[in-house]
């Protein structure tokens, strides 16, 4: 149980285009989903917290107009990287939880490369 | 946000040797979680520590939470090649604006030589 999927697993896009990444909780309803960014051999940096039906809460330094988050249902959150630039190339991972004081279930991640 | 420091960044051991990674926080943590990320994979939850001074064991893995709830450690006894990966600690925000937020340490990348 507690499986989280992400789509796509890899995406290559041209500079200036937008990319949408989906995060789904497959066998449970997540009260909250989180989006992280991970650089090679680095830690996970929390970008934003997403709750169904409400605006996402972004961490300091994360541009909300660049990283659009939509949480349409208890099983789906999407992250759209708008007007992508090469410096946005990274590994984006989502997580989902039913308990804010408990375990988070991570998706397999999306490798974004902006050329 | 909360600052969680983790050392060492890298650890290379021979199979059968022990391994320890340490985490320190600048503030008191509500709880601390440990995750393992295999090369090319995503973080997988290992354990959560909540109580001051708590010690939990999972087979060869021993997790400790400091008395002040500001530090934690993970110790692996007699490492095996299957232990390879990066081990992250993450402090969990317990209230207010930090509730539910995980603040990850930098991780310790463990390599085990057969």
pLDDT in tens, B61-112: 999 999 999 999 999 999 999 999 999 999 987 777 777 888 899 999 999 9
Contact predicate A60/B1, CB 8 Å: yes
Given an 8 Å threshold on Cβ–Cβ distance, is B30 in contact with A49? no
Q: Which residue has the tokens 């939990």?
A: B56
Q: What is the distance in angstroms between the Cα of B17 and the nearest Cα belonging to chain A?
A: 24
Contact predicate A74/A52, CB 8 Å: yes
pLDDT tens by residue, B62-72: 999 999 999 99
pLDDT tens by residue, A60-110: 999 999 999 998 888 999 999 999 999 999 999 999 998 888 889 999 999
A1 pLDDT band, cuts 50/70/90, is low
Structure confidence at residue B96 (pLDDT): 73
- State which residue of chain A sits closest to B42, comparing Cα positions: A108
Given an 8 Å threshold on Cβ–Cβ distance, is A108 in contact with B42? yes
| C-alpha dist (Å) from residue A9 to A12, A41, A113, B40 | 10, 18, 11, 12
d(CA B87, CA B105): 9
**Where are the extended beta strands (E) located within chain B?**
4-7, 10-14, 19-25, 31-37, 44-49, 55-58, 61-65, 71-76, 85-92, 102-104, 108-113
Structure confidence at residue A100 (pLDDT): 80
Instruction: Tell me the backbone φ, ψ of residue B82, rounded to 5 degrees.
Output: -70, -10
Contact predicate B45/A105, CB 8 Å: yes
- State which residue of chain B sits closest to A108, comparing Cα positions: B42
Q: What is the average per-residue pLDDT within A37-43?
A: 85
Contacts of B41 in chain A (CB under 8 A): 108
Given an 8 Å threshold on Cβ–Cβ distance, is B104 in contact with A45? yes
- In this complex, which of B44, B99, B105 lies closest to A100 when CB atoms are compared? B99
């Amino acid at each position: 149980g507690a499986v989280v999927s992400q789509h796509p697993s890899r995406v290559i896009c041209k500079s200036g285009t937008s990319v949408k990444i989906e995060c789904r909780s497959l066998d449970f309803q997540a009260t909250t989903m989180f989006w992280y960014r991970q650089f090679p051999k680095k830690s996970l940096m929390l970008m934003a917290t997403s709750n169904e039906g409400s605006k996402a809460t972004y961490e300091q330094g994360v541009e909300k107009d660049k990283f659009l988050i939509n949480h349409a249902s208890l099983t789906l959150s999407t992250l759209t990287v708008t007007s992508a630039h090469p410096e946005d190339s990274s590994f984006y991972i989502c997580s989902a939880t039913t308990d804010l004081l408990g375990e988070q279930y991570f998706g397999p991640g999306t490798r974004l490369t902006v050329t | 946000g909360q600052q969680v420091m983790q050392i060492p960044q890298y650890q290379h051991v021979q199979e059968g040797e022990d391994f320890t990674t340490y985490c320190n926080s600048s503030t008191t943590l509500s709880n601390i979680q440990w995750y393992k990320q295999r090369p090319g994979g995503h973080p997988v939850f290992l354990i959560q520590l909540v109580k001051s001074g708590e010690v939990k064991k999972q087979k060869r893995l021993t997790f400790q939470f400091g008395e002040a709830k500001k530090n934690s450690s993970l110790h692996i006894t007699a490492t095996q090649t299957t232990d390879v990966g990066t081990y992250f600690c993450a402090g969990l925000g317990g209230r207010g604006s930090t509730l539910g937020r995980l603040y990850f340490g930098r991780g310790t990348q463990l390599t085990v030589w057969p």
